[in-house]
Amino acid sequence: MARIYEDLTQVKRKSRIILYLLGVILFVLLIFYWKIQVLDHSKYWEMAEANRLRELAIPAPRGLIFDRQKVVLADNSPSFKVTLIREAVKNYQETLDRLSRFLGIDSEELKNRIERYRFLPAFEPVTIKDNLKLDEVASIEARKEEFPELRLEVEPKRYYPFGPAAAHLLGYLQEVSVDEINSNPEKQWHGGEMVGKSGLEKQYNDYLTGLDGKLVEMVDNLGRPRGEVSRIEPQNGKNLAITLDFDLQKKAEELLQGREGTVVALDPRTGECLVWASSPAFDPNRFITRFSPGEWLSIINDQGKPLENRAIRGLYPPGSIFKIIMALTALDTGVITANSTFYCSGSVEMYGKEFACWFEPGHGSLNLAEAIRHSCNVYFYQLGRRINIDTIADYAHRLGLGQKTGVDMPGEKEGLVPSADWKRKFLGETWFPGETISVAIGQGPLLVTPLQIATMTACVANRGEAVRPMLVKKDKEERERKKIGIDPEIFETVIEGMWRSVNEQGTGRGAFQPGLDVCGKTGSTQLISRETAERLTQKGEELKKTHSWFTGFAPRNNPQIVVTVLVEYGGMGGQTAAPIAGEIFKMYREKYAGQKNL
């Protein structure tokens, strides 16, 4: 077979061109690779690191809170929670449905819970259920591969061993809200973190909060952990020692059981609060677990307002307690002396109107100390007619009313001390002298908080030195003991009256304790008109439509404790509040008899 030589130069040349072209293209592509791999290396390196590394916070235990005898009031206990990492979710709706079935949470609610943290980076875990029971923990752990987007975390959870005891004082924790995270970027709060929402937990939140640790772990494309890269251990929050005496606190809460009211006790020498009870109370442990919306509503709509911290947020007319301030004002301005007497016939007519004493037969002729002892209204009407409202307001302010006490507790209210200016400004009317008569016995527009009354009483007990109430002990330098500019001698007359009120069958006799010179003053605030009250009495209904007040201190010389009691709708002050205060004084004496000169 003869070989026919063909002319293949054309096709071979074409093939050669393609080969060269191929070489050129590969060379150009290598330049592209050089750009990506060498020039832009660090950019892609960071992206790869962001892919593979996940930072997680290791929650730091919160500091403990204990009372002055080191009784732990707020503790921590380990708790399991399950979190979801959105980054790892492939099909959102499907995952929601599966989780809802698996965890037994309504799919809508679950969605809301996750949506709330939409703004967070997708790699941050969102808590979807906490306080897991052990069998729940086991079933989640067992199905780890099936739910790679879920994480089980153990976190130290706040635990209040005494439940509702001192609840208002301690406050409660709740999940930090989206708004709070956004408006406080410096706090570096993360979604699902529990922060103090009231009470000491709020006031000292930064102090109690530890420094979260940090765990960096390697994850795969489904978000499954594949080993730890680094770990910084968390630092515990600092412990908080408070001035509370938990024995007295328990006693006070026991006495308030079933009533709405508050008991505050403090050491007049330093302002340290010994008792801070508000009733009804709530169990702060319940706030730790995430509430269902229904539970929330039931707490908020409760008629007794269990969340209200009555000691600083309850506003009440002071009633006869205000007579202490009237007495001090009258003596200091020289309107009367200790021996000035007025006659009480059961009522008195002033500015063309009849003002009644609470004791219809009348107290007869009495001096200031006696007037305080019997809480005679007529005597103080007489003072009210002789003293200008602005002068009264000035003294009330000096004794701490109408302003925050400055206690280390959030949400304190100011109360109200009326003056001519105030009325012009807020009501647009001039002050009538007749209104001063009501103010003289603590009625009218006056409003005070129980803690203000306790602080005022401490100032009286100190014979004119005001202290600022506190719950956490401060250094001596930080404590304030400030003279209010009234001569100590002036206080002795008022204190004499308060002593007689308790020890000589006065209105405060319910607080009497043998061997302990208790001085005190009762108050009852009229909430309904006298006519209505009489009508109700005639019908034979029990008349308990007034708030019942008592405030006092002991011992008379060298006072060590101030007790202020308010019982809402408790009737006359001597009837309900004074005996409660008496029990507190009694227990204080028994407890400290050995240690202190009582």
Query: Is there binding between residue 36 and another protein (CB under 8 A)?
Result: yes
Question: How many residues lie near another protein (CB under 8 A)?
Answer: 42
Query: Is there binding between residue 543 and another protein (CB under 8 A)?
Result: no
Query: Is there binding between residue 478 and another protein (CB under 8 A)?
Result: no
Nearer to another protein, 33 or 339 (CB): 33
Q: How many CA atoms lie within 13 A of 416 on its CB side?
A: 17
Q: Say how far residue 579 (Cα) sits from the centre of its chain.
A: 28
DSSP at 66: E
Angle at 447 between CA 444 and CA 453, to 5 degrees: 120
Q: How far is the CB of 277 from another protein (least distance, A)?
A: 57
Residue 278, φ and ψ in degrees, nearest 5: -135, 135
Nearer to another protein, 154 or 229 (CB): 229
Nearer to another protein, 50 or 593 (CB): 50
Nearer to another protein, 41 or 596 (CB): 41
User: Residue 491: which of 372, 582, 317, 384 has the closest Cα?
Assistant: 372
User: Residue 555: which of 598, 508, 520 has the closest Cα?
Assistant: 598
Query: Is there binding between residue 18 and another protein (CB under 8 A)?
Result: yes
Q: How far is the CB of 102 from another protein (least distance, A)?
A: 21
Nearer to another protein, 14 or 482 (CB): 14
Instruction: Return the sign of the alpha-carbon dihedral for residues 521, 526, 530, 536.
Output: negative
Span near another protein by CB under 8 A; candidates 5-13, 146-154, 328-336, 483-491: 5-13
In angstroms, rounded to a whole number, what is the distance separating the alpha carbons of residues 566 and 581?
10
Query: Is there binding between residue 47 and another protein (CB under 8 A)?
Result: yes
Cα separations (Å) of 82 from 235, 326, 471? 22, 61, 36
Q: 592: helix, coil or strand?
A: helix
Nearer to another protein, 12 or 530 (CB): 12
Bin 410: left if φ > 0, else alpha if -120 < ψ < 50, else beta: beta
Q: How far is the CB of 51 from another protein (least distance, A)?
A: 5
Nearer to another protein, 32 or 354 (CB): 32
Q: How far is the CB of 27 from another protein (least distance, A)?
A: 9
Q: How far is the CB of 21 from another protein (least distance, A)?
A: 10
In terms of C-beta density within 10 A (0-12 exposed, 13-18 middle, 19 or more buried), how is residue 303 classed?
A: exposed
Site string for another protein, 191-230 (x = CB under 8 A): ---------------------------xxxxx---x----
Residue 150, φ and ψ in degrees, nearest 5: -95, 150
Q: How far is the CB of 291 from another protein (least distance, A)?
A: 36
Query: Is there binding between residue 41 and another protein (CB under 8 A)?
Result: yes
Q: 390 is written with which tokens?
A: 């602005």
Q: How far is the CB of 6 from another protein (least distance, A)?
A: 6
Site string for another protein, 84-123 (x = CB under 8 A): ------xx--------------------------------
Cα separations (Å) of 504 from 31, 508, 513, 552? 105, 9, 12, 15
Q: How far is the CB of 226 from another protein (least distance, A)?
A: 6
Instruction: Return the sign of the alpha-carbon dihedral for residues 450, 451, 456, 458.
Output: positive
Q: 331: helix, coil or strand?
A: helix
Q: 396: helix, coil or strand?
A: helix
Query: Is there binding between residue 144 and another protein (CB under 8 A)?
Result: no
Nearer to another protein, 26 or 142 (CB): 26
Q: How far is the CB of 272 from another protein (least distance, A)?
A: 58
Nearer to another protein, 37 or 292 (CB): 37
Span near another protein by CB under 8 A; candidates 49-57, 134-142, 461-469, 568-576: 49-57
DSSP H stretches of helix in 257-340: 285-288, 293-300, 310-313, 323-333
* Binding residues vs another protein (CB under 8 A): 1, 3, 6, 8, 10-12, 14-16, 18-19, 22-23, 25-26, 29-30, 32-34, 36-38, 40-41, 43-45, 47-49, 51-52, 90-91, 218-222, 226
